[in-house]
Amino acid sequence: MYRFYINNTDDDYHFMELARAFLPDDGFETIPYSGSPIRYLPSENSYLVNEKGSDDREEIKREFYRLLSELTGTRPPWGTLTGVRPLKPALAICSQSSVEEMEKVMKERYLMTDAKASLIADIADYQLGHVSGVPWEKASLYAGIPFCPTRCAYCSFASNVAPAEDHAAYLENLLKETAYMGRLAAEHGTGLESVYIGGGTPTTLTAAQLERLICGISEAFDIDPAGLEFTVEAGRPDTITKEKLDTLRRLGVSRISINPQSMKDRTLRLIGRDHTADDIREGYRLAGETGFDVINADIIAGLPEEDEKDFTDTLAEIIDLGADNITIHTLSVKKGSRLKENDPVYYRKNVETVSAMLDISRSMLTEAGFRPYYIYRQKHQTGALENVGWCRPGKHSIYNIRIMEDKQTIIGLGAGAVGKVYYPDEDRLERIANVSNYRLYSERFDEMLARKNEYYR
């Protein structure tokens, strides 16, 4: 157990998060203190950070990073950056200088590698060239469908395997919440820039139920789905039918997501999926025939027993199948997932292999004409790495960009939905969360409705 005494601070959160990139949670303790200098450290594995008493948190983090590197022999590629949104500080720098200058500053200030600074520069360049409008002038809407055919081993989202009658009862409440929020939005002149129906797996609903939901959103918020970015996750191919896809397209849905994670049948079984790679291929065939504007795919680097060839084969096939928006996720072993229960430190393994997978994805996608357009990181990701969204130019998701900017109100509907209210004058967000369990959502439905009033306090 290492003990790190952080001088001249009363908040150790950022230092604790940085230490997690190097050490397991039970392998260290960060102890903030201010006042008289520590003269005697209590053990040989105790270290004093910021002995000179600097007030610059980034300077202290750089010192701490170098100490952790010396102790562990590793240098995580994101340097001292620990937040979920590494693009935010980069865009703040770009507002005062060029992308090239930003890339240089990011390396110096945060000690990130040349490759990660270059990636951030590429994403900033794409957004500056392709994303327009003032983000807080309109809101985005998220509606959650917390049901899946099975539960994946790595999943900690609000997703449940539930009978059809539970789906129907849940939908009735979601439609009531949608109508209530739509009236509030109309009263206050709130328009929508994008709609995202996620989960879980929304296409666990029937075609008729999907139609009711999309029409309910359209009527409540007075929108034409064809007139804005409207996404429906069809993530699991075992929930896709031609009838459902035809219904979505007829109603104006422009963007769907079919998420294979892997094209290796053994991996699909290991992670708890009841479909095969052939089912994924059939889903893409049907989606291509239906004529959606954008088909998104999610792929995970670091799934159990996969090597670089497995990952390369999956990515190559997904490109060939016609996905024009691909998000490369680094496996995150979250609290509440089966993988976390079985192996709490799984995320600390196979770091070199997963890092190589991300390098492969950048090379392959760039060669295929894709550009990186958004990025985020999560706790307990393998190697403290990242998730990157790639798209063919113009095929980006404005919802994904806005939710990572943290400069737009996100209206959250349904179990597990987390809404956010943005106050531009203060550059501040407030969260408005619904309960994650769909049964509690129904039991406490009046409370969920009352929470909608918080958007306009």
Residue 349: is its pLDDT beyond 80?
no
Q: With a cut of 70, say whether residue 159 has pLDDT above it.
A: no
- In this prediction, residue 347 carries a pLDDT of 65
Please spell the DSSP secondary structure of 313-363, one letter per residue.
HHHHHHHHHT-SEEEEEEPB--TTSHHHHH-TTGGGSSHHHHHHHHHHHHH
Amino acid 413: pLDDT: 98
DSSP β-bridge partners for residue 233: 257
Identify the CA nearest to 79 among candidates 49, 117, 53, 27: 117
- 422 phi, psi to nearest 5 deg: -100, 130
The reported pLDDT for the residue numbered 234 is 92
- The model's pLDDT over 379-391, given as tens digits with 9 standing for 90+, comes to 888 999 999 999 9
Q: Quick one: tokens of 417? A: 């939905």
The pLDDT tens digits for 187-226 are 999 999 999 999 889 999 999 999 999 999 999 999 999 9
Q: Which pLDDT score, from 0 to 100, does residue 344 have?
A: 67
pLDDT at 338 over 70: no
Average pLDDT over residues 362-383: 95
Question: pLDDT over 70 for what percent of the chain?
Answer: 94
11-32 pLDDT, tens digit per residue, is 899 999 999 999 988 899 999 9
Candidates 247, 238, 143, 116; CA nearest to 197 is: 143
- The three-class DSSP label of residue 179 is helix
- Give the separation between CA 389 and CA 401, rounded to whole angstroms: 9
Q: What is the pLDDT of residue 403?
A: 95
pLDDT in tens, 168-195: 999 999 999 999 999 999 999 999 999 9
Domain range 135-413, CATH class: alpha beta
Tokens 């959606």 correspond to 292
Would the pLDDT of 335 be above 60?
A: yes
445 in Cβ contact with 175 (< 8 Å): no
Q: What per-residue confidence (pLDDT) applies to 334?
A: 66
Distance CA 372, CA 326 (A): 9
Q: Average pLDDT for residues 430-449, to the nearest whole number? A: 95
pTM of the predicted model as reported, rounded to 2 decimal places = 0.93
pLDDT band at 75 (very low <50, low <70, confident <90, very high): very high
